[in-house]
């Protein structure tokens, strides 16, 4: 339950007009490998806790929902707050990814992953 609560806080902290990846939310919630749990949290609580679920996208900078299963709505919600989403659901992470204060850059994260893997 601990991770779940932290994940919800992180998601609620994503500002309007910005997006975060599943892995990014997981990392900020304390476990950079728990992206799939973020998905579960969204399923379980996005409605109940009014989470800005549409601001969470995958690491390739794209909407993961399938067409007819939420894709259109997510695209609409993001567009409404100024995030540019193309017809394939792709978003420029360089431009719209949330970078909270004190967060590590992607380059740093990559370095730390490689370090932990013993390179």
- In whole angstroms, the minimum distance from the beta carbon of 87 to DNA comes to 14
- Residue 1 binding DNA, by CB under 7 A: yes
- Residue 45 binding DNA, by CB under 7 A: no
95 or 111: CB nearest DNA: 111
Stretch that binds DNA, among 15-23, 80-88, 92-100 (CB under 7 A): 15-23
- Residue 59 binding DNA, by CB under 7 A: yes
Q: Collapsing DSSP states into helix, strand and coil, what is residue 29?
A: coil
Q: Going by C-beta distance under 8 Å and a sequence separation of 6 or more, which residues neighbour residue 46?
A: 53
How far is Cα of residue 9 from the mean position of the Cα atoms in its chain?
Answer: 12
- Residue 76 binding DNA, by CB under 7 A: no
Strand partners, 19: 97
**Helices 35-45 and 2-12 sit at what angle, rounded to 10 degrees?**
80
102 or 107: CB nearest DNA: 107
88 or 101: CB nearest DNA: 88
Residue 52 and residue 11 in contact, taking contact as beta carbons nearer than 8 Å: yes
Query: In this structure, what token pair is assigned to residue 90?
Result: 């792709």
Binding site for DNA (CB under 7 A): 1-4, 21-23, 31, 33-40, 42-43, 46, 53-54, 56, 58-60, 64-65, 70, 74
């Amino acid at each position: 339950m601990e991770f779940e609560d932290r994940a919800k806080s992180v998601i609620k902290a994503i500002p309007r007009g910005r997006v975060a990846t599943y892995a990014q939310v997981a990392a900020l919630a304390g476990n950079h490998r728990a992206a799939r749990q973020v998905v579960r949290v969204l399923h379980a609580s996005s409605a109940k806790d009014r989470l800005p679920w549409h601001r969470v996208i995958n690491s390739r900078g794209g909407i993961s929902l399938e067409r007819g299963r939420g894709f259109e709505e997510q695209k609409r919600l993001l567009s409404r707050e100024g995030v540019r989403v193309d017809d394939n659901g792709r978003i420029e992470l360089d431009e719209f990814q949330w970078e909270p204060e004190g967060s590590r850059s992607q380059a740093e994260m990559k370095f730390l992953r490689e370090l932990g893997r013993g390179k």
